[in-house]
Amino acid sequence: MNQPDSPRSSVSMVEVGPGQAGQRLDNFLLGQLKGVPKSHVYRLLRKGEVRVNKGRAKPDYRLKDGDQVRIPPVRQSQPASDDQPLPEGLAETLRRAILLEDDDLLVLNKPAGLAVHGGSGVKLGLIEALRRLRPEAPFLELAHRLDRETSGCLVLAKRREALLGFHDALKSGGVDKHYVTLLAGVWRGGPRQVSESLARKGPRTQVRAVTVEEDGKHAESFFFPRRHFTEATLMGVEIGTGRTHQIRVHAAHEGFPVAGDSQYGDFDFNRLMKRLGLKRQFLHAETLRFHLPGHERPYQLHAPLPADLAAVLERLEPLDV
């Protein structure tokens, strides 16, 4: 049954606390305005209806402790109650996906097919599901993101300080990220570094393609072959940056698109892979290594290759090179 819309009765003034300092303004608003479409939140920002300390602010403005945020009256759809229990199947999947948990972080082996957050037709993402699974948790935020069809290591922060520490490590190149992927075609030669700038095209309210552009954001991917097959190559990939769709776009740009990639991939090759049992893009975040302030030892996480991807490799014909 559809829930009735609920209007905000008046302008709201929200003071940013220490636990919210460092958060982007757009993400802060999305949390405050649950049930409001993301496109409408960005429209409010563009029109200047949201103010920080009585002035206009951009979506990527980082909030500070004590900032006063003016939120205009908007109509909100009543969201599904966060008190509703998760379907037991999903709850058990998330419990079994935990690779590590301590006072600062929760690291999962994210299942393929589960978006990291709701929106764009996704009612319940991983972060919303975990918050519902753990209603007592005072703070739980995504530290980075993975594509919906990508599996593997995903870090969530349980404290604001841990979130900021992980983001600092990302910016300084202190997070080693290793992926495994299956690429169309037989890779000739050894390791290859791809340094091509990337840009997102199209309006923010739509699914935007990423393309190689000279004036885009710097991106580096290091590809090294692991196994060769008659139709494909199993690759390890290290990325020095974390741009949207980076591995998929860099691989396609080199002429070896990711198997099962419906956006940047090869249609005929994907059809062949589908006959071999591949039902999603073959991309898995295999390992993460990073250090957080206050921790003597670095975090070292490993997510084994999922059974569905391993089964596809078993059906491929090896190639001696």
The H or E element spanning position 161 is: helix 160-171
What is the C-alpha separation between 55 and 69, in angstroms, rounded?
Answer: 9
Q: In this structure, are strands 151-157 and 283-290 parallel, antiparallel, or unpaired?
A: parallel
User: What is the end-to-end Cα distance of the chain in Å, rounded?
Assistant: 60
What is the C-alpha separation between 218 and 209, in angstroms, rounded?
Answer: 16
Answer for the pair 303, 150: CB distance below 8 angstroms, yes or no: no
The yes-or-no answer on residue 147 being catalytic is yes
Catalytic choice (26, 67, 104, 147): 147
Give me the residue label for tokens 């059906």: 315
What is the C-alpha separation between 198 and 319, in angstroms, rounded?
Answer: 33
What is the C-alpha separation between 179 and 226, in angstroms, rounded?
Answer: 12
What is the C-alpha separation between 237 and 250, in angstroms, rounded?
Answer: 11
In the chain, the DSSP E strands lie at 5-7, 12-15, 51-52, 55-56, 68-71, 75-77, 98-101, 105-110, 141-142, 151-157, 176-184, 192-195, 198-201, 209-212, 220-228, 232-239, 283-290, 299-302
Give the torsion sign (CA, 129, 135, 137, 138). positive
Cβ-based neighbours of 296, under 8 Å, separated by 6 or more: none
In order of 49, 71, 109, 185, 268, the CA distances from 25 in angstroms are 13, 11, 29, 43, 43
List residues with catalytic annotation.
Answer: 147
